[in-house]
């Protein structure tokens, strides 16, 4: 027996089966056990949040100490400084993200960066729509038709001129979207379940990493 792999596989199986049992049966002991598992899972997820940061420390720490030409090592230094400042502010005060300085810095730095990075996709969308939404063949034409009709319905001025634009959009979101997306969802749903079962019974072991 290879305890380095077999014990984890057994853990996955047992925990997964208890989760399923909790859903499908009314046995009190199973529900109680699963409540404990859930709470443990939440604590473990807390631990897992630190993994990415450790990796950043490794990658950028190495770059900073090597200081190779053309690697932008000073940016790595800045990154680590920001990382340390936020951890320090959050933990030293004991107020975590509720501290006054912490939320000041968050609102000044992270909030604008996060929301702008996310929303600057608008520019990509605009350019993408211009370059891509062209009825160059049959497939593209299908995509083109509904995209344009939905944009018309979504742009307040057009329904204001003629309400039909809005009803057209609502109709597309009716049978067209409902039907096709239901088919897609059924397919993806069963795909996820099959993978899940394979994972529980130890046939899908990618998460265990290298041998």
Partner 1 sequence: MAILTPGRIVPLLALILVWVAVYIAINMGKEGKIKVRRIAGLDAIEEVVGRSVEMGRPVFDIIGMGTFTDSYATQTVAGLSILNYVAGLSARLGAELIAPQAKVDVMPVAIELVRDAYNVEGKLDELNVDEQLPYLSGTQFAWASGIIGMAARRRPAGNIMIGPFWAESMMFAETFDRIGAMQVGGTARTYQIPFFAALCDYCLIGEEIFAAGAYVSGDPAQIGTIAAQDWYKLAAIALSIVGALLSTVGVNIIAELLSR
Partner 2 sequence: MVSMDPSIWIAAFFTIAATSYAFRDNVVFKFAEYTFIGVAAGHQIVMGIKNIRDYGWTKIMEGQIIYVLVFVLGIMLYARFHREYYWMYRFPIAFLVGNGVGISIRAAIHSDFIVQVAQTASTPLIGGGAMGTINAIITFVGAVTAIFHFIFTQENLHEGTLGYIPKIGRWLMLLAFGASFGNTIMSRFGMYQGRIIFLLRDWLQLV
Partner 3 sequence: MSVWEKLTSLPREVVMGLVIIAMLIPALSPLGLPLMTGQMSQDWYDTIEALPEGSVILFDIGYGSGGYPSLGPGTIAAFHQIFENDLKLVIMATALEGTLMYPLVMAAVQPESNYGAVYGEDYVFIGYIAGTQTAMAGVLGDLHELVTNDYQGNPISGMPLMDNVGGADDFAIVAYVTTSGDVAEGWVYQAYSQYNRDVLGGTLSMMTTSIKPYYDSGQLLGIMDGVKGAADLEFLTGHPGDAIVSSDILTFTQTLVLIFIAVGNISWFMQKQEGSG
Q: Which two tokens stand for residue 143?
A: 């995509």
Check residue 206 and report its DSSP letter: G
Residues 19-48 that bind partner 2 (CB under 8 A): 19-20, 22-24, 37-48
**Is residue 23 involved in binding partner 3 (CB under 8 A)?**
yes
Q: How far apart are the C-alpha atoms of 35 and 210, rounded to whole Å? A: 32
Residues 121-150 that bind partner 1 (CB under 8 A): 121, 124-125, 127-128, 131-133, 139-140, 143
* Dihedral pair phi/psi, residue 95, rounded to 5°: -105, 0
Sole window of 8-16, 50-58, 125-133, 196-204 interacting with partner 3 (rule: CB under 8 A): 125-133
Q: Which does 201 bind (CB under 5 to 8 A by kind): partner 3, partner 1, partner 2, none?
A: partner 1
Helices 28-48/3-24 angle, 10° precision: 130
HEC states along 87-146? HHHHHHCCCHHHCHHHHHHHHHHHHHHHHHHHHCHHHHHHHHHHHHCCCCCHHHHHHHHH
Beta carbon of residue 194, minimum distance to partner 2 (angstroms, whole number): 9
Closest residue by Cα to residue 23 from 201, 206, 196, 205: 196
Sole window of 25-33, 63-71, 144-152, 157-165 interacting with partner 2 (rule: CB under 8 A): 144-152
For the chain, the maximum distance between any two Cα atoms, rounded to a whole number of angstroms, is 74
Sole window of 2-10, 92-100, 157-165, 200-208 interacting with partner 1 (rule: CB under 8 A): 200-208
Pick between residue 45 and residue 131 the one whose CB is nearest to partner 2: 45
- Which residues of this chain interact with partner 3, rule CB under 8 A? 23, 34-35, 38-39, 41-42, 45-46, 48-49, 97-98, 103, 106-107, 110-115, 117-119, 122-123, 125-127, 129-131, 133-136, 144, 148, 151-152, 154-157, 159-160, 163, 166, 170, 173, 177-178, 181-182, 185
């Amino acid at each position: 027996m290879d305890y380095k792999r077999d014990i984890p596989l057994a853990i996955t199986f047992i925990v997964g089966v208890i989760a399923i049992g909790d859903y499908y049966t009314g046995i009190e002991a199973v529900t109680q056990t699963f409540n404990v598992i859930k709470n443990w899972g939440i604590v473990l997820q807390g631990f897992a949040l630190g993994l990415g940061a450790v990796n950043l420390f490794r990658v950028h720490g190495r770059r900073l100490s090597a200081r190779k030409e053309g690697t932008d090592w000073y940016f790595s230094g800045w990154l680590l400084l920001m990382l340390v400042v936020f951890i320090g502010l959050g933990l030293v005060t004991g107020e975590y993200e509720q501290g006054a300085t912490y939320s000041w810095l968050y609102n000044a730095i992270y909030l604008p960066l996060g929301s702008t990075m996310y929303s600057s996709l608008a520019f990509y969308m605009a350019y993408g729509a211009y370059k891509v939404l062209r009825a160059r063949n049959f497939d593209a034409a299908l995509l083109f038709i509904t995209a344009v009709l939905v944009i018309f319905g979504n742009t307040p001025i057009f329904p204001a001129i003629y309400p039909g634009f809005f009803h057209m959009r609502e109709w597309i979101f009716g049978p067209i979207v409902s039907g096709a997306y239901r088919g897609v969802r059924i397919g993806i749903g069963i795909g996820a379940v099959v993978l899940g079962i394979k994972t529980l019974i130890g046939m899908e072991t990618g998460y265990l990493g290298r041998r």
